[in-house]
């Protein structure tokens, strides 16, 4: 299936294009014209982006340049369309990175031909969500119903998952062996031998180049355990078992399977290393907890896909944790589900209890570590993995890690290079065993093309020994210098483009004022060299202002609110690391930073540029009728009154349009005679969709008795009209209904 990010500011055209692509079995990710589209493009990795531009399109081209500056998504084809432009303007659009420009009025045949030419090799999407894996409409409705208890929702989900899949017993058996001090290679060999497929895998690994090193061929499981190592065999056996759960499963767009597993493996490896160093929990429990810490999001995607996609969209739009969005939309999160499943799978009690607290938006305090040792270790491991960009999950949100917490884990000097080298070695070993893909670690993550030209000075006011923001910026290839004192910071600011400050709180207002008054180096991007070797600059990517450019991160920064300007951006935790690149871009290019933060005070780029933000109509009407003439007249009536209208001539198409509709459905006008799906089933299905719980229903009937309408009345339908009356009378009835 081809996936297209659609960035359209005209509501009528957005509806038309979405309908067109839906009929062609193309997955559409809709986005308003704003910098939030940057995060969506990163997360969903589409096959194509289509963007409408206005006559004054400077800010839209700036957004396009941001996309093209990121190596991870720079190759994604871009089609722009808008009002007819002269040759010079068209050239500027193509120079900014567009693959093509189509003038209005939009010729659909030309658009389809260009899409076909740009997506030559077909879609990168190898998977689709199978409908048989999903819940019934009634069960879906219960998951988002606030009157249904959390425990009842967990029961529905766990029952469905256990019906669709069986968790391998090998994992629980290996954990039991790990908990016994008397267990050794013989006991572990017995567990592995009870699973023929696992036995074959362990023998294959023991005889692989990675472990055999030219030694004799091994045919006995106990010998294989000795060669691989008791600890390594336990971890490999658990990893193989878990990996098989989803190896052949189906995934929706926005969720990369390989990146997910590398992230989980990295968290497992790091959590085990912290557990071994701190002696706070059993190493194997830390490993399997890290490996399965995000299994819930995988299961959400596979078995509760409607809910998963809505949560993922909210996460990318608002820059907040996936788990927070789950709570807001459904009243529970995937950690609750995993905790219940762990209990049913007879995992150790500490795993069942602590998994509930993993990766929550919390302040990681020493008290929290003492109360939830395993959850703290896995959460810190998750932050480290995200900071070094080891794989990718459903969000890239992080929290600060205090010096006190790192001391409890016995890392008083933070995470050193030797620590990360061991992580890379282990990741490469597991990749060779599991055969995820052909990448090796450490892999080059410097995705921002001009990052090496940007001089950043970084300073922590909280005396942190591990700073996620700094580590992330290093992986992106920025030129970074650290300051160890306030005076050193002042001096280094004068030779830098942007100052990155962490650990900010309300006691630092005076220090902040001193930094804000400094003159910093204006950014001039070097694009190429002339024949004599002299550097040339790109005038479209330079700033003349030498005022301070500051990006701050902290927890309590009330005094900053009155000081926000185009050169100052402050963000609370938690925040999505990917938003930092765009915040730096705004600072370097003197772009507006008004409303750059979400309601929680964290970086969120949905409202990054007012000039790009378009408010779409929230009055959506869906017409389901088998007669094209009726649909046409109803469409004309509602569009004249400012509604956004979509239409379909078959029942399944009505349901699909409702599911893909991002804004709330205001009204459904549906015929009782619509083919392929009954009117009653259509209304039931739409009433279970979280976005459309307040939708109003109007049903058209012909040649029906009153008893035929009773089932619809029981569903809450109160408005009907007889199609045997004239269209003028029908439209008059709509007016009387206030529509």
* pLDDT tens column, 271-318: 999 999 999 999 989 999 999 999 898 888 888 888 888 898 888 888
User: Cis bond leading into 561, ω under 30°?
Assistant: no
DSSP state of 562: G
The separation between CA 57 and the C-alpha centre of its own chain, rounded to angstroms, equals 28
Confidence of residue 613 (pLDDT cuts 50, 70, 90): very low
- What are 709-737's pLDDT values in tens digits? 888 888 888 888 888 888 888 888 887 77
Instruction: Assess contact for 335 and 377: CB atoms under 8 A.
Output: no
The CATH number of the domain covering residues in 620-736:
3.40.50.2300
Strand partners, 537: 526
pLDDT of residue 539: 44
In the numeric block, which tokens belong to residue 89? Answer: 């303007």
DSSP secondary structure of 421-459: HHHHHHHHHHHHHHT--S--SSPP---BTTGGG-EEEEE
Confidence of residue 451 (pLDDT cuts 50, 70, 90): very high
Q: Mean pLDDT of all residues in the chain?
A: 84
Confidence of residue 535 (pLDDT cuts 50, 70, 90): very low
Distance CA 240, CA 250 (A): 18
pLDDT of residue 527: 47
| pLDDT greater than 80 at residue 192 | yes
Q: Which CATH number fits domain 3-118: 1.10.3720.10, 3.40.50.2300, 3.40.50.1820, 3.40.50.980?
A: 3.40.50.2300
Q: How far is CA 343 from CA 42, 95, 178, in A?
A: 36, 57, 18
CATH topology of domain 150-434: Hypothetical protein af1432 (1.10.3210)
Confidence of residue 601 (pLDDT cuts 50, 70, 90): low
Distance CA 341, CA 359 (A): 18
CATH 3.90.1150.150 assigned to 451-607: no
| pLDDT greater than 70 at residue 614 | no
- What are 688-716's pLDDT values in tens digits? 887 787 788 999 998 888 888 888 888 88
Pairing type for strands 644-648 and 696-701 reads: unpaired
Confidence of residue 616 (pLDDT cuts 50, 70, 90): very low
Do the domains at 150-434 and 451-607 have one common CATH topology? no
Give alpha helix (H) positions in 486-561. Answer: 486-493, 509-516
Distance CA 41, CA 48 (A): 9
Instruction: Assess contact for 522 and 588: CB atoms under 8 A.
Output: no
pLDDT of residue 604: 56
Q: How far is CA 560 from CA 290, 497, 519, 568, 601, in A?
A: 37, 20, 19, 9, 11
Ranges of each domain in the chain = 3-118, 150-434, 451-607, 620-736
């Amino acid at each position: 299936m081809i996936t297209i990010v659609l960035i359209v500011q005209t509501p009528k055209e957005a509806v038309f294009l979405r309908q067109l692509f839906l009929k062609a079995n193309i997955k559409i990710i809709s986005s308003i014209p704003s910098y939030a589209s940057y995060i969506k493009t990163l997360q969903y990795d589409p096959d194509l982006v289509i963007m409408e531009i206005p006559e004054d399109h400077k800010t839209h081209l700036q957004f396009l340049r941001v996309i093209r500056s990121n190596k991870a998504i720079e190759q994604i084809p871009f089609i722009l369309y808008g009002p007819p432009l002269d040759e010079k303007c068209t050239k500027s659009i193509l120079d900014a990175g567009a693959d093509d420009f189509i003038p209005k009025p939009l010729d659909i045949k030309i658009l389809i031909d260009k899409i076909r030419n740009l997506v030559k090799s077909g879609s990168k999407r190898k998977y689709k969500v199978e409908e048989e894996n999903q819940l019934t409409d009634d069960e879906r409705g219960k998951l988002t119903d606030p009157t249904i208890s959390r425990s009842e929702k967990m029961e529905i989900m766990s029952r469905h998952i256990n019906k669709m899949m069986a968790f391998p017993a090998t994992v629980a058996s290996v954990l039991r062996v790990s908990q016994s001090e008397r267990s050794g290679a013989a006991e572990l060999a017995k567990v592995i031998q009870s699973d023929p497929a696992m036995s074959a895998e362990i023998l294959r690994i023991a005889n692989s180049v990675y472990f055999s090193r030219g030694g004799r061929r091994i045919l006995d499981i106990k010998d294989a355990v000795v060669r691989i190592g008791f600890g390594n065999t336990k971890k490999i056996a658990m990893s193989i078992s878990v990996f098989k759960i989803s190896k052949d499963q189906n995934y929706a767009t926005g969720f990369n399977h390989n990146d997910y597993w590398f992230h989980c493996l990295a968290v497992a490896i790091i959590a085990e290393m912290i557990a071994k160093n701190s002696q706070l929990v059993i190493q194997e429990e830390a490993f399997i907890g890290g490996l399965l810490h995000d299994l819930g999001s995988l299961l959400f995607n596979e078995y509760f896909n409607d809910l998963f996609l809505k949560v993922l969209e909210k996460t990318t739009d608002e820059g907040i944790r996936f788990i927070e969005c789950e709570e807001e939309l459904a009243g529970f999160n995937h950690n609750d589900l995993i905790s219940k499943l762990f209990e049913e799978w007879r995992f150790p009690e500490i795993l069942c209890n602590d998994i509930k607290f993993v990766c929550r938006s919390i302040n990681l305090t020493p008290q929290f570590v003492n109360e939830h040792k395993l959850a703290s270790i896995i959460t810190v491991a998750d932050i480290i993995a995200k900071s070094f960009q080891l794989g990718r999950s459903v969000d890239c949100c992080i929290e600060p890690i205090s010096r006190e917490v790192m001391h409890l884990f016995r890392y008083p000097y933070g995470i050193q290079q030797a620590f990360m080298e061991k992580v890379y070695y282990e990741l490469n070993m597991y990749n060779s065993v599991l055969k995820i893909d052909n990448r090796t670690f450490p892999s080059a993550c410097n995705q921002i093309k001009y990052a090496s030209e940007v001089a950043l000075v970084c300073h922590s006011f909280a005396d942190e020994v591990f700073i996620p923001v700094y580590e992330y910026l290093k992986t992106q290839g920025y030129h970074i210098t650290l300051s160890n004192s306030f005076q050193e910071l002042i001096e280094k600011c004068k030779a830098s483009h942007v100052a990155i400050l962490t650990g900010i709180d309300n006691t630092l207002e005076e220090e902040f004022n001193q930094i804000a008054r400094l003159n910093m180096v204006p950014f001039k991007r070097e694009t190429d060299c002339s024949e004599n070797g002299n550097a040339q600059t790109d005038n479209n990517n330079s700033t003349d202002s030498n005022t301070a450019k500051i990006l701050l991160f902290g927890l309590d920064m009330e005094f900053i609110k009155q000081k926000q300007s185009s050169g100052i951006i402050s963000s609370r935790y938690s925040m999505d690391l990917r938003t930092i690149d765009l915040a730096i871009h705004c600072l370097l290019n003197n772009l507006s930073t008004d409303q750059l933060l979400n309601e929680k005070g964290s970086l969120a780029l949905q409202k990054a540029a007012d000039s790009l933000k378009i408010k779409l109509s929230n009055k959506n009407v869906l017409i389901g009728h088998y007669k094209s003439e009726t649909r046409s007249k109803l469409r004309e009536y509602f569009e004249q009154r400012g509604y956004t209208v979509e239409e379909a001539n078959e029942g399944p198409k009505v349901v699909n349009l409702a599911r893909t509709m991002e804004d709330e459905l205001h009204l459904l006008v549906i015929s009782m005679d619509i083919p392929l799906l009954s009117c009653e089933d259509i209304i039931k299905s739409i009433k279970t969709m979280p976005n459309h719980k307040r939708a109003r229903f109007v049903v058209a009937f012909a040649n029906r008795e009153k008893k035929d309408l009773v089932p619809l009345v029981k569903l809450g339908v109160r408005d009907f009209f007889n199609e045997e009356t004239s269209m003028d009378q029908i439209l008059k009835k709509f007016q009387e209904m206030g529509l």
